[in-house]
């Protein structure tokens, strides 16, 4: 199992190894311990571009998931990969949502990661209310399995960002 993490948002300090370990625990919990996952933490500007480009919604969102596991290529050729897919999370949106809900940013980040991975596993809350309820139950169960959520994110101070 491998988790490839890219952090594009630098106003928050992310304990990358802790986040990767949490993502690995999540992959095991969903039965994907042999799969690979690409995880990107980004800002609202990039998230808005991705949302507009791929979902035709011109606004930032909290999490996007791009499944890769099985794709149909030109001429009907099937590409099967160990790569489950990409999960992209907007850190500024996660911070806002955590504040509005009165929870820690680490818990919000874990919730968004779970949500994105479930999308990669075929869950889709936008299909119908029954599927939304099914996905919500699975999210809660997975959050319980991977709890406690470790501290992963802190605000950077002026000293830590100098020279960047």
Would 57 be classed as within a structural domain? Answer: yes
Would 104 be classed as within a structural domain? Answer: yes
Would 156 be classed as within a structural domain? Answer: no
Cα-flanking dihedrals φ and ψ of residue 7, to 5°? Answer: -110, 115
Would 58 be classed as within a structural domain? Answer: yes
Judge residue 26's burial from the number of C-beta atoms within 10 Å of its C-beta, 0-12 exposed, 13-18 middle, 19 or more buried: buried
Confidence of residue 116 (pLDDT cuts 50, 70, 90): very high
pTM value is 0.88
CA 118/CA 125 separation, integer angstroms: 10
- Which pLDDT tens digit goes with each residue over 8-49? 988 889 999 999 999 999 999 999 999 999 999 999 999 999
Would 160 be classed as within a structural domain? Answer: no
Calculate mean pLDDT across residues 44-68.
96
Would 9 be classed as within a structural domain? Answer: yes
Per-residue model confidence (pLDDT) at position 162:
37
The number of distinct structural domains making up the chain is: 1
Would 162 be classed as within a structural domain? Answer: no
Domain that holds residue 6: 2-148
């Amino acid at each position: 199992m491998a988790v490839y993490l890219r952090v594009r948002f630098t106003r928050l300090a992310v304990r990358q190894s802790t986040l990767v370990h949490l993502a690995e625990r999540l992959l095991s919990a969903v039965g994907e311990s042999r799969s690979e996952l690409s995880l990107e933490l980004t800002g609202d500007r990039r998230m808005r571009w991705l949302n507009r480009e791929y979902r035709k919604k011109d606004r930032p969102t909290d999490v996007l998931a791009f499944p890769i596991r099985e794709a149909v290529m030109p001429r009907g050729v099937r590409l099967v990969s160990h790569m489950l897919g990409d999960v992209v999370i907007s850190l500024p949106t996660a911070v806002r949502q955590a504040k509005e809900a009165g929870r820690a940013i680490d818990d919000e980040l874990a919730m968004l990661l779970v949500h994105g991975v479930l999308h990669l596993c075929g869950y889709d809350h936008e299909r119908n209310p029954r599927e939304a309820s099914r996905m919500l139950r699975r999210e809660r169960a997975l959050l319980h399995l991977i709890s406690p959520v470790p501290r992963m994110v802190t605000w950077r101070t002026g000293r830590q960002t100098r020279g960047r």
